[in-house]
């Protein structure tokens, strides 16, 4: 009798940890499909742009023995025949599938924000970050840079570039750090201003030009490089494959992370929408989701009932350049409390967290089943089928 074949789509934080955890059963054939031959540390891409650190790791140091890495992209999931149709033209059969395709940034179309698609840079994938790094290298240090988006990615990018001595304007289009408490926002704003970052909270960008941005109040802001960090989306693979998703394209699952359409498909990471109520897109959520997705597959193979999703949060840690940061505390359901710490100690904590993500993956490779995550938190009540949000 042949071994059970489990394929993981996506070699990010969730997918790589899931693949390693599956090795608790030595009789499984585990394959990881990823479009790049290297692991991308998404949480360090702002460092890559600023040339203050690398953002890739060798899969040879991350994957456990026996896991096959296929460097390719998936065009479609053929659920009827349980196979993946790859960009290379080949097909890959599976018995169980873990869907961990992750997320990426969004640059608005021409009709939404003229010039953004042509002139703005993204920072949310390796290739875009590399292009921005090369573009910045060709600019003098005093050339103005605009970062669009007041979320955590925008904050970290703006501070990383400002610490180099670049004049940076952060255009929030609303509140700075919407996921933070009032104290957390004050801490971030204080440290950004120490780096001489200009914070524009009440305006948005209405047009991007090659050398400037036009703000919603009509002001024209010189900008030799414009970085767009506002908004995230997910690949449309699930939608193309006829699986039900939420309005953003995340795969709809039950509380065991199993697809509502196919019990042989389990989701993890940013592209999962458990009960139509996804967790915040973050590394903090991705690795536990990867572990829990693997446990669901292992339970189904063993003929057992998979456990429901159980995950707790502790807060958010934001780097403000290489020397400072803000630690925002949160309730276990990921809602912020009005308690935050800022300063140099926080920068050291953030660096330990970043290193810890890869350490956890490597430990799981060496000792499958060893990964531990905080359990608890409140999951939103599962809506009735006719109440689920924007199913397609």
Q: What is the pLDDT of residues 190-229, one digit of tens each?
A: 999 999 999 999 999 999 999 999 999 999 999 999 999 9
Q: What is the mean pLDDT of residues 32-41?
A: 98
Same structural domain, 120 and 163: yes
88/354 Cα distance (integer angstroms): 33
Same structural domain, 245 and 222: no
Answer with the one of 273, 307, 341 that is the final residue of a domain. 307
DSSP character for 317? E
Q: How many domains does the chain have?
A: 2
Sign of CA dihedral 136, 142, 147, 150: positive
CATH number of domain containing 143:
3.50.50.60
What are the backbone angles phi and psi of residue 128, rounded to the nearest 5°?
-65, -40
CB atoms within 10 A of CB 165: 11
Over 90: is that where the pLDDT of 391 sits?
no
List Cβ neighbours of 16 (8 Å cut-off, separation of 6 or more). Answer: 32, 39, 59, 62, 63, 290, 361
Over 90: is that where the pLDDT of 390 sits?
no
Residue 204: strand, helix, or coil: coil
Q: What is the mean pLDDT of residues 236-251?
A: 97
Tokens of 219: 């002001």
Residue 276: strand, helix, or coil: coil
Same structural domain, 189 and 263: no
Whether 242 maps to a domain, the answer reads yes
**This prediction's pTM:** 0.94
Tokens of 38: 């290297």
Encode pLDDT of 330-347 as tens digits: 999 999 999 999 999 999
Q: Which of 150-159, 180-189, 195-204, 382-391 has the lowest mean pLDDT?
A: 382-391
Asked whether the beta carbons of 157 and 46 are under 8 A apart, the reply is yes
Same structural domain, 122 and 66: no
Whether 331 maps to a domain, the answer reads no
Over 50: is that where the pLDDT of 381 sits?
no
Same structural domain, 255 and 224: no
Whether 219 maps to a domain, the answer reads yes
Same structural domain, 199 and 293: no
CB atoms within 10 A of CB 315: 20
Encode pLDDT of 285-297 as tens digits: 999 999 999 999 9
Give pLDDT, residue 376: 82
Answer with the one of 260, 285, 307 that is the final residue of a domain. 307
Same structural domain, 216 and 253: no
347/327 Cα distance (integer angstroms): 9
Answer with the one of 228, 261, 276 that is the final residue of a domain. 228
Same structural domain, 153 and 249: no
Whether 186 maps to a domain, the answer reads yes
Whether 352 maps to a domain, the answer reads no
Closest listed residue to residue 34, CA positions, set 18, 23, 21, 50: 18
Whether 276 maps to a domain, the answer reads yes
Quote the domain boundaries for residue 89: 4-103+234-307
Encode pLDDT of 180-190 as tens digits: 999 999 999 99
Asked whether the beta carbons of 5 and 93 are under 8 A apart, the reply is yes
Whether 162 maps to a domain, the answer reads yes
Same structural domain, 249 and 296: yes
pLDDT-derived band at 377, boundaries 50, 70, 90: low
Give pLDDT, residue 2: 74
Whether 388 maps to a domain, the answer reads no
Same structural domain, 77 and 141: no
139/224 Cα distance (integer angstroms): 8
- On average, the pLDDT of the chain sits at 94
Same structural domain, 166 and 183: yes
Residue 278: strand, helix, or coil: coil
Q: Which of 43-47, 107-111, 174-178 has the lowest mean pLDDT?
A: 107-111
Same structural domain, 184 and 244: no
Give pLDDT, residue 183: 97
């Amino acid at each position: 009798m042949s071994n059970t074949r489990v394929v993981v789509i996506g070699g990010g934080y969730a997918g790589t940890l899931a693949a390693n955890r599956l090795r608790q059963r030595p009789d499984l054939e585990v394959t990881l499909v990823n479009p790049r031959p290297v692991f991308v540390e998404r949480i360090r891409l702002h460092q890559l742009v600023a040339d203050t650190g690398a953002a890739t790791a060798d899969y040879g140091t991350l994957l456990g023995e026996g896991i096959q890495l296929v460097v390719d992209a998936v065009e479609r999931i053929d659920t009827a025949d349980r196979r993946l149709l790859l960009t290379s033209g080949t097909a890959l059969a599976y018995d169980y599938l873990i869907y961990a395709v992750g997320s990426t940034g969004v640059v608005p179309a021409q009709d939404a924000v003229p010039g953004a698609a042509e002139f703005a840079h993204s920072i949310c994938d390796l290739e875009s970050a590399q292009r921005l790094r090369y573009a910045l290298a060709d600019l003098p240090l005093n050339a103005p840079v605009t970062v669009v988006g007041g979320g955590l990615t925008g904050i970290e990018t703006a501070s990383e570039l400002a610490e180099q001595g670049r004049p940076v304007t952060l255009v929030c289009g609303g509140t700075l750090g919407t996921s933070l408490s009032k104290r957390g926002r004050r801490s971030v704003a204080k440290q950004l201003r120490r780096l001489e970052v200009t914070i524009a909270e009440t305006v948005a960008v209405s047009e991007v030009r090659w050398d400037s941005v036009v703000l919603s109040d009509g002001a024209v802001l010189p900008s030799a490089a414009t970085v767009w960090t506002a908004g995230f989306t997910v690949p449309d693979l699930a939608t193309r494959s006829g699986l039900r998703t939420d309005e953003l394209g995340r795969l709809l699952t039950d509380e065991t992370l199993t697809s509502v359409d196919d019990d042989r498909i389990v989701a993890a990471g940013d592209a999962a929408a458990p009960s139509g109520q996804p967790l915040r897109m973050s590394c903090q959520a991705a690795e536990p989701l990867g572990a829990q997705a693997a446990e669901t597959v292992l339970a189904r193979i063993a003929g057992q009932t998979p456990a429901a999703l159980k995950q707790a949060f502790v807060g958010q840690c934001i780097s403000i350049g290489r020397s400072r940061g803000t630690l925002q505390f949160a309730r276990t359901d990921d809602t912020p409390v009005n308690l935050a710490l800022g300063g140099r100690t926080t920068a050291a904590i953030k660096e330990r967290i970043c290193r810890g993500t890869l350490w956890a993956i490597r430990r799981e490779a060496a000792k499958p089943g060893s990964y531990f995550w905080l359990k608890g938190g409140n999951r939103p009540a599962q809506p009735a089928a006719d109440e689920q949000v924007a199913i397609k």
